[in-house]
Structure 1
Amino acid sequence: MKKILLFASGTGSNVENIIQYFKNNDNISIVGIFTNNLHAKVLEKAKRHNIPSLVFNKTELNEGSVLEKINKLQPDLIVLAGFLLKFPEQIIKVYPNKIINIHPALLPKYGGKGMYGMNVHQAILENKEKETGITIHYVNEHYDEGEFIFQQNVNIEECDSPEAIAVKVQSLEHEHFPKVIAQLLTPNS
């Protein structure tokens, strides 16, 4: 049985999508949902699906108590699905090439500190880009600079707001993120 541990900071639409995708999979299970936000809607999703959850603060993340909890679960893959804190090097070193993130743009453009969610979509709109997309990548010690696993683009020429761009990008996320996770966990299938 392959085990996925999810990290999220907000609503958790990607978390919900991943849960649904693997719901009836006998070979892959979601062993936990971790968040740094006591009020994150993702906690409701964890409760509804009977998935253990953990709320922690930045200090606990950076000083090792979250790593202890991760080690107890022994995940095969750690998935950052809308997780907004920088992931600590100590965890990355223990789980090399086992931590992935999804970014709502075609990296290396529109990445880095502060580039998440509507900030990304607003910057893309202001720069009059004709397309954007998603990047799924391994997590390293720098924001959005890990090795790319998958990218998919979408035309946004008719989009006139960051919200319109977000709808198109989220559609790509929901379509591709679970499939990429499945491929990483079962590469020969």
Structure 2
Amino acid sequence: MLRIGVLVSGGGTNLQAILDKMDSGELGNCSVVTVVSSKDDVYALKRAEKHNIPSEVISRKSYSSLDEFDTALIDSLERHGVELVVLAGFLSLLGERFNNHYKNRIINVHPSLIPSFCGKGYYGLIPHQKAIEYGVKVTGATVHFVELEADAGPIILQKAVHINDDDTPESLQKRVMEEVEWQILPEAIKLYSQGRIVVEGRRVKILPDIKKL
């Protein structure tokens, strides 16, 4: 059973997508053992409570340095035996200590087709707004391993969504979440839990499912 720690900062819709896949049996060999939020009073904590998942609030502003914040997060996740860290709308910066401790064991979902519309400052509605302003015809979402530089780690999965002429950042965000993020984030977790992800430099190779061969 893969023990997962989910880091959140808001409503937790991607957390809910993971929990729904677990409830349906699609992630039967995975368990979310803790949810850590960077903010008080966010709905993601309610989602954890409804599923009887232990949760904790660890705020960056409570610590004088990024290194101390990293240490607090690591200590919390280690207490629960976390093997894979999933960033599901987590907006706090993670430092070198955290990244080194969980190297190739932290995944994030970003609402664009990396390397477009990503990096520092690209969160929330901004990637969707920039995609519409630029006039691209497709956007989507990316699940990738996390490194120190924002949205720069090896890419695990991507899926595209066509942009309609009448799209707003809000309508596009909703479609990308529902049609892409909620699908490829659980799928990446499933692949990881099955040992089918191999990182070779910047490239991620997905091994075949031996059960289907």
Tell me the TM-score normalised to structure 2 length.
Answer: 0.84
| 1:124 maps onto 2:131 in alignment | yes
> Alpha-carbon deviations, 1:107-131, whole Å to 9, x = none?
1111111101101111111111111
Which has the larger Rg?
Answer: 2
| 1:184 maps onto 2:192 in alignment | yes
Q: Tell me the distance in 2 between the aligned counterparts of 1:179 and 1:26.
A: 12
Could you tell me whether the CA contact under 8 Å between 1:2 and 1:29 is conserved in 2? yes
Matching residue of 1:22:
22
Could you tell me whether the CA contact under 8 Å between 1:138 and 1:149 is conserved in 2? yes
Matching residue of 2:114:
107
How far apart are residue 27 of structure 1 and its match? 2.2
How far apart are residue 74 of structure 1 and its match? 2.2
Q: Tell me the distance in 2 between the aligned counterparts of 1:8 and 1:62.
A: 19
Q: Structure 1 stretches (4+) deviating beyond 4 angstroms?
A: none
Could you tell me whether the CA contact under 8 Å between 2:34 and 2:77 is conserved in 1? no
> Alpha-carbon deviations, 1:130-149, whole Å to 9, x = none?
11000100000110000111
Amino acid in structure 2 at the alignment position of 1:49: H
Could you tell me whether the CA contact under 8 Å between 1:159 and 1:165 is conserved in 2? no
Matching residue of 1:9:
9
Alignment of 1:35-184 (within 5 A): 35-58=37-60, 59-60=62-63, 62-63=67-68, 64-171=71-178, 172-184=180-192
SS of match in other structure, 1:102: strand
SS of match in other structure, 2:125: helix
Could you tell me whether the CA contact under 8 Å between 1:129 and 1:157 is conserved in 2? no
Bigger drift between 157-166 and 143-152 goes to 157-166
Q: Which runs of 5 or more structure 2 residues have no equivalent in the other structure?
A: 197-208
Q: Tell me the distance in 1 between the aligned counterparts of 2:16 and 2:165.
A: 28
- Give identity over the alignment, percent: 34
SS of match in other structure, 1:117: coil
Provide the alpha-carbon RMSD of the alignment: 1.5
How far apart are residue 26 of structure 1 and its match? 4.6
Instruction: Return closer, same or farther for 1:153/1:159 CA change in 2, 3 Å cut-off.
Output: farther
